[in-house]
Chain A
């Protein structure tokens, strides 16, 4: 659950970073750094989650299940989503750490998969969690959904993210047409 909360925070911070908006007390480069630090922390929690699960006899988690989805014995579908999410997060974080080597286009393309990644973590937590669908669990999920949902909504409507405007066409296309 900590991983889920952290990952949701990473999504919000990612959108904030992209917006170019500083936060109170946090200039833009600090927002970007916070996004990075939080994502690395989240990955650590995901790793912890996998380790504790592999030590849990009830979960029946084998090494292969951490990278290849839908082979697991315990709720294979829901767990499989988690596996895909782990694959994606490795790609996301790895490509970001190596982005200067990858180049702008490749890195950006891979980074967009974050929007595929995050819903998978929500679904995985919802379907796989042994907490069942307790009120507490649902509250946490709801908060994460609301937070990221709001950020994504902002991302979609705000001018801040608009593609660069093309130059305004001019009414005098050939400048000195009237000179004779």
Chain B
């Protein structure tokens, strides 16, 4: 079951810590908000990156991230 990085867009303010912590998955858009590098906005997280995604979830100052199943 692939984990997905769920972004609560109503909370996200583009602080950008997640982009720094999981650069393989996320890039910055024109306004500083996280964007999927592979253009899959459901943001599936490859197993090798799960621990970095977990760190991003912990560190987000807006508590805007969650890891969800599927």
A and B in direct contact, judged by CB atoms within 8 A: yes
Provide the bound-state CA to CA distance between A90 and B63, in Å.
21
Contact A32 B59 (CB under 8 A): yes
Q: Is the pair A104, B13 in contact by a Cβ cutoff of 8 Å?
A: no
Which partner residue on chain B sits nearest A103 by CB separation? B63
A100 contacts chain B at the CB level, 8 A cutoff: yes
Contact B58 A28 (CB under 8 A): no
Shortest distance in angstroms between A65's beta carbon and chain B's nearest beta carbon? 35
Chain A: CB-nearest residue to B15 = A20
Given the interface contacts A100-B58, A104-B11, does A20 sit within 8 Å of B63 by beta carbon? Answer: no
| CA distance in complex: A146, B23 (Å) | 37
In the complex, the chain B residue whose C-beta lies closest to that of A28 is B17
Residue from B20, B32, B58 whose CB has the most chain A CB atoms within 10 Å: B20
Beyond A28-B16, A29-B20, A29-B21, whether A17 also contacts B58 by CB under 8 A is no
A contact residues, range: 10 to 19
| Contact residues in A for B59 (Cβ distance below 8 Å) | 29, 32-33
Closest chain A CB from B10 CB (angstroms): 10
How many residues of chain B are within 8 Å of chain A by beta carbon?
14
User: In the assembly, what is the distance between CA of A29 and CA of B65, in Å?
Assistant: 15
B37 at the binding interface (Cβ < 8 Å): no
Q: Report A-chain residues with C-beta under 8 Å of the C-beta of B13.
A: 164
Contacts of B15 in A (CB 8 A): 20, 28
B63 engages A28 (CB within 8 Å): no
Known: A20-B16, A104-B63. 19 other contacts (CB 8 A): A17-B61, A20-B14, A20-B32, A27-B20, A28-B16, A28-B17, A28-B20, A29-B21, A29-B59, A32-B17, A32-B59, A33-B59, A99-B63, A100-B58, A100-B63, A103-B63, A104-B11, A104-B62, A107-B63
Residue numbers of A with Cβ under 8 A of B are 17-18, 20, 27-29, 32-33, 99-100, 103-104, 107, 164
